């Protein structure tokens, strides 16, 4: 497939970039564009499809064909015919009336991801948008004009209508945006970036907002962070295993092979690699015959979360490269079909599943933290890892915080996808609540990162008593990286900033490369 850059409306040189075809967008590319500001251009063949599909829309308008959202109203108003001269006003009214989302603005990285995903869906050439409108969306992305998009207000069917309308407002020169991080009117943001607003034409407003890109963008970035946390959970658990003089026999390959889940096998392999060379771990019968489940069952529990992540990845990859608006125009057959690709049920289920899987990583991590700080369970470590037990509380209250976050996750893990409230006078009588599921999944993952950070801080404190020189080479790397961010808690002090700082490092996977240089690639 030939992939050539389409000329930007700004006429500026476009550097090496991700090329959108509507077919092949990857999660790695989403991450690069969302966080690293990698530029984006449109593939030449995608541009041709978009232009050809737009010609089809214009022909439909000229012939007065009855087409939902093109020559009719929306939702319950689909039986109201719209004249060609009113089509532009219809689209503008659609965006203005639907831009009523509420709540905190989505993070800039999430907004960048949703701009990318919406552009990728439109580039498939089934939506009928003008090439100039699509190019303006890409120019905004490349020039860091980021619409202010409130996070609440989507039912997850009929598309993420309310929040996506705030994105479309900025293309019209309305609403609010961040330009290079500064908040201002959409009109001013476009002007500062050297861009001009557009007047939406027939079908364009509907094409911009009738999709699942809010839930999918939140879900994609949450998944990427989950992948980092899943690997780091193995590493942190390995360090805790050393602190508690854990028994490595439970990670033996023989055990995993007789229950051959690939993910369980992979986690056990990670643990064996991470603990190679440790002088703190034990063998079966040396100190005790069996460890508690939070150590002994690491391959089974962490492995099951990896199964969840595999499911979620599959659904995200399909959704990111799908056409999810309505109606869809099929040029070869010269037909327009109203359907339901905007319904977010597949992503709603995936996000609810992600919440459950990541909640369990936090659950078992908190149990390991309890074993580190509880003198009845820690095998000789001082109570709450305090250097002055009784005078100093040590790590007593961080475990409380961990328990609080785990409890909150249990509430957030309640499935949003089983709920539905009819809308549009019962025309839209079943909805997915997928965006709610995605938002809650992102919060669960943030909480889980903090729980893991607390375990890691406690493990680093415990190693101060066991002897850092006895660590395995791979876990010694982790210990040193932690100590570069979090000094030892020799006397009581606030650790809130330490937890937050370490949690962010875990979410971004900052330590993984250094650890894998020693352990080898982790599963």
Q: What is the pLDDT of residue 63?
A: 83
Beta strand segments in 80-185, E: 102-105, 145-147, 150-152, 176-179, 182-185
Alpha-carbon distances, residue 211 vs 69, 94, 425 (angstroms): 14, 15, 20
Q: What is the pLDDT of residue 76?
A: 66
**Measured distance CA(401)–CA(496) in Å, rounded:** 10
Cα atoms found within 13 Å of the Cα of residue 277, Cβ hemisphere only: 13
Q: What angle do helix axes 496-507 and 434-466 make, rounded to 10 degrees?
A: 120
For residues 365 and 451, the answer to whether their CB atoms sit within 8 Å is: yes
Cα atoms found within 13 Å of the Cα of residue 134, Cβ hemisphere only: 34
pTM of this prediction?
Answer: 0.93
Q: What angle do helix axes 213-243 and 434-466 make, rounded to 10 degrees?
A: 20
**Measured distance CA(163)–CA(143) in Å, rounded:** 21
Alpha-carbon distances, residue 112 vs 39, 74, 157, 248, 303 (angstroms): 11, 28, 22, 44, 32
CATH tag for 223-519 (out of 1.10.3720.10, 2.160.10.10, 2.40.340.10, 1.20.200.10) = 1.20.200.10
Residues whose CB falls within 8 Å of the CB of residue 290, separated by 6 or more in sequence, listed in order:
247, 250, 284, 296
**Measured distance CA(346)–CA(315) in Å, rounded:** 7
Closest listed residue to residue 206, CA positions, set 353, 14, 35, 73: 73
At which residue do the structure tokens 């999430």 appear? 110
Q: What is the pLDDT of residue 5?
A: 37
**Measured distance CA(512)–CA(510) in Å, rounded:** 6
Q: What is the pLDDT of residue 7?
A: 41
Q: What is the pLDDT of residue 82?
A: 73
Closest listed residue to residue 103, CA positions, set 68, 148, 64: 148
Domain extents in the chain: 18-211, 223-519
Q: Per-block average pLDDT, block size 10, for the chain (523 residues)?
A: 37 67 96 96 97 93 79 72 80 94 97 98 96 98 98 91 96 97 97 97 92 97 98 98 98 98 98 98 96 98 98 98 93 91 95 98 98 97 94 96 98 94 81 95 98 98 97 98 96 97 97 97 96
- Would you name the residues annotated as active-site residues? 68
Closest listed residue to residue 398, CA positions, set 347, 459, 472, 336: 459
Residues whose CB falls within 8 Å of the CB of residue 77, separated by 6 or more in sequence, listed in order:
none
Cα-trace Rg, the chain: 26
Q: What is the pLDDT of residue 11?
A: 42
**Measured distance CA(451)–CA(334) in Å, rounded:** 55
**Measured distance CA(101)–CA(439) in Å, rounded:** 14
**Measured distance CA(178)–CA(105) in Å, rounded:** 11
Structural fold of domain 18-211: Fumarase C; Chain B, domain 1 (1.10.275)
What DSSP character marks residue 471?
S
Strand 328-330 vs strand 145-147: parallel, antiparallel, or unpaired? Answer: unpaired
Q: Do domains 18-211 and 223-519 have the same CATH topology?
A: no
3-state secondary structure of 453: helix
Token duo for residue 454? 């607390």
Strand partners, 183: 178
Verify cis geometry, omega within 30 degrees of 0, for the bond prior to 65.
no
Beta strand segments in 201-277, E: none
């Amino acid at each position: 497939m030939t992939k050539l850059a389409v000329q930007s409306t700004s006429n500026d040189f476009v550097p090496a970039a991700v090329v959108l075809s509507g077919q092949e967008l990857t999660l790695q590319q989403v991450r690069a564009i969302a966080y690293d500001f990698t530029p984006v251009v449109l593939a030449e063949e995608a541009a041709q499809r978009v232009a050809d599909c737009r010609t089809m829309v214009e022909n439909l308008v000229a012939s007065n064909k009855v087409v939902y959202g093109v020559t009719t109203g929306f939702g319950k108003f689909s039986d109201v015919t719209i004249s060609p001269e009113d089509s532009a006003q219809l689209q503008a009214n659609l965006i203005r009336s639907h831009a009523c989302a509420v709540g905190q603005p989505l993070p800039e990285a999430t907004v960048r991801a949703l701009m990318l995903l919406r552009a990728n869906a439109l580039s498939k050439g089934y939506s009928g948008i003008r090439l100039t409108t699509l190019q303006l969306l890409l120019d905004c992305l490349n020039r860091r004009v980021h619409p202010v998009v409130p996070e609440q207000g989507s039912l997850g069917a009929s598309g993420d209508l309310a929040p996506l309308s705030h994105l479309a407002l900025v293309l019209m020169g309305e609403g609010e945006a961040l330009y290079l991080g500064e908040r201002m009117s959409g009109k001013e943001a476009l002007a500062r970036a050297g861009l001009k607003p557009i007047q939406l034409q027939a079908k364009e407003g509907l094409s911009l907002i009738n999709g699942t890109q809010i839930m999918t963008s939140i879900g994609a970035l949450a998944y990427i962070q989950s992948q980092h946390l899943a690997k780091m959970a193995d590493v942190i658990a390995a360090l805790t295993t050393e602190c508690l003089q854990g028994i490595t026999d439970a990670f033996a390959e023989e055990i995993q092979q007789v229950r051959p889940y690939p993910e369980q096998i992979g986690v056990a392999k990670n643990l064996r690699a991470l603990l190679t060379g440790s002088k703190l771990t034990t063998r079966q019968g040396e100190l005790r015959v069996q460890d508690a489940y939070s150590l002994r069952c690491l391959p089974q529990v962490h492995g099951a979360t990896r199964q969840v992540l595999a499911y979620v990845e599959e659904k995200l990859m399909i959704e990111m490269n799908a056409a999810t608006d309505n109606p869809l125009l099929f040029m070869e057959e010269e037909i327009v079909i109203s359907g339901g690709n905007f319904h977010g049920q597949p992503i709603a289920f995936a996000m609810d599943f992600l919440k459950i899987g990541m909640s369990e990583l936090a659950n078992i991590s908190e149990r390991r933290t309890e074993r580190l700080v509880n003198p009845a369970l820690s095998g000789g470590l001082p109570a709450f890892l305090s250097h002055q037990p009784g005078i100093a509380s040590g790590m007593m209250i961080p475990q409380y915080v961990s328990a609080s976050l785990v409890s909150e996750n249990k509430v957030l893990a309640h499935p949003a996808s089983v709920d539905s409230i009819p809308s549009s006078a019962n025309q839209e009588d079943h909805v997915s609540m997928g965006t709610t599921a995605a938002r809650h999944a992102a919060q669960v993952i943030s909480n889980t990162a903090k729980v893991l950070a607390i375990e890691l801080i406690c493990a680093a404190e415990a190693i101060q008593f066991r002897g850092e020189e006895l660590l395995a080479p791979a876990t010694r790397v982790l210990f040193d990286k932690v100590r570069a961010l979090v000094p030892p808690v020799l006397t009581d002090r606030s650790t809130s900033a330490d937890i937050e700082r370490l949690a962010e490092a875990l979410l971004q996977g900052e330590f993984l490369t250094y650890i894998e240089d020693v352990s080898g690639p982790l599963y």
